[in-house]
Amino acid sequence: MKSFFIGNMEVKLPVIQGGMGVGVSLSKLASAVANEGGIGVISCAGLGLIYSKQPGNYLSRCISGLKEEIRKAKEKTNGIIGVNIMVALTNYADMVKTSISEKVDVIFAGAGLPFDLPSYLTKESTTKLVPIVSSSRAAKILCDKWKNNYNYLPDAIVIEGPKAGGHLGFKTEQIDDEHFSLEQIIPEVLNITTQYKEEKDIPVIVAGGISSGKDIHHFLDMGVSGVQMGTIFVTTEECDASTEFKNVFVNAKQEDIKIIQSPVGMPGRAIDGEFIRSVEKGQEVPKSCPFHCIKTCDYSKSPYCIVQALYQAAKGNMKKGYAFTGINVHLSQKISSVKEVIERLKSEFRGAQLEA
C-alpha cells in the first residue's frame, strides 16, 4: 500500500479510521491506528456527556473533553491524529477552534457542508482541512466557495458512499441505486480535483462499506489516494466503546442492518435491535432537551434523543440505544487488536495485487 501526502504530511498507510460517536472512537482507538501509520480519528460528538463528571455545562465539557482526548492521543503516538466534526453540531465552531488551537493534524468535517471551515485558521495554524462529501457536485461547490471566500482549497476530500455506517448524505431511494455507488462517484470527483491541480494537489479518500484489503486495492486502483474505514475498527481491543457494544457487531448478521430516519434529518444505517423497535412504536419520545447538540433537532418533534441513544449503546446499554454500522458488519467475526486488523488488510491487499 502506497503512502500519500495531505499537504506536507505523509500518510504512510493509506487507511483513515472513520470518526465514530458517541464515544466509539476516542484517543485509545485513534492513537492505535496512528501508531500503525494510518490516520486515527477522534469523534467529538457527545463529549459533554462522556465527560459529565467534569465541571461546567454540556458545551464547556465538550471543549475540555476534546482537549483531553487530543492530548491523550498525542501522548500515545507520534502518528497522525484527526478529529471528526459534524457540521450539524450546535457547537461545531467550538469544536473546530479547539481542534485548531490544540494543533490536531487534520479536521474531517461532514454531516453538512463546512462552507466556513477555513475561516477558523490562523497564521500559526498547522491543521489540515478535509471536508466529507457524497457527490462531485458538493465537492465542486465547496472547492469554489473556499477558493473565492478564503483563497483556500481542501487539503484532501473524503467521498462517503451510500454503504457507510451512520448518517448518509443520500435520499433513502438513492442508497441502493447503483448510479450513486462509489464506482460512479469516484471518477466524477477525481475530475473535479484535477481542475485545481496547478494550484493544489487534492488527494481523494473514499469511505463507505470498505472492509478488506481487496476493497482497498480496488479503490486505489481507481485512482484515489486512501480509504476511510470505520466498522472494521469497532471490533478491536483498542476501540473506546464497551465490550457489550463490540459484541453486537461480532454477532450481527446481514439481515440485522436497517436504514433508519435519524432525528438529525438524514437516513442512517444501523443494527436493528430492541431500542429501534421501541422507537418505531413511539415509546422513546424525549421529555426535554438538556443538550441541544444538533442544530436541526427539535426535541418536541423528535422520536428520541440521538446523543443519549448513541452514548448509552457505546456504554453497552443496548436497551436504551443502538449502533450505527457500515454495510459489511456481518464480516466482523471476533475482537482483535488494531495491529492484527492492519496486518490482515495488508495481507489481503498483497493477495489482490497478485491476482491483478
Domains and CATH numbers, the chain: 4-241+333-355 (3.20.20.70), 244-324 (no CATH)
User: Is the model's pTM score more than 0.85?
Assistant: yes
Give me the mean pLDDT over the 294-318 stretch.
84
- Local structure of residue 330 (DSSP, 8 states): G
Residues above pLDDT 90, as percent of the chain:
85
Q: Which ranges of the chain would DSSP assign to H, the alpha helix?
A: 27-35, 47-50, 58-76, 92-101, 136-150, 182-194, 213-221, 231-234, 243-251, 274-280, 306-315, 338-355
Name the nearest CA neighbour of 34 among 75, 68, 62. Answer: 75
Helix (H), strand (E) at residue 43: strand 39-43
Reported as a single tens digit per residue, the pLDDT across 36-80 is 999 999 999 999 999 999 999 999 999 999 999 999 999 999 999
Q: How far apart are CA 223 and CA 112, in angstroms?
A: 25
DSSP of 154-173, one letter per residue? -S-EEEE-TT-SEE-SS-GG
Q: 184 and 160 in contact (C-beta within 8 Å)?
A: no
Lookup: cell for 182: 462509489
Name the nearest CA neighbour of 228 among 5, 13, 10, 8. Answer: 13
Q: How many CB atoms lie within 10 A of CB 50?
A: 22
Reported as a single tens digit per residue, the pLDDT across 145-193 is 999 999 999 999 999 999 999 988 899 999 998 889 999 999 999 999 9
DSSP of 226-263, one letter per residue? EEEE-HHHHTBTT-SS-HHHHHHHHH--GGGEEEEE-T
Q: How far apart are CA 223 and CA 200, in angstroms?
A: 17
Rounded to 5 degrees, what angle do the CA atoms 341, 345, 351 make? Answer: 145
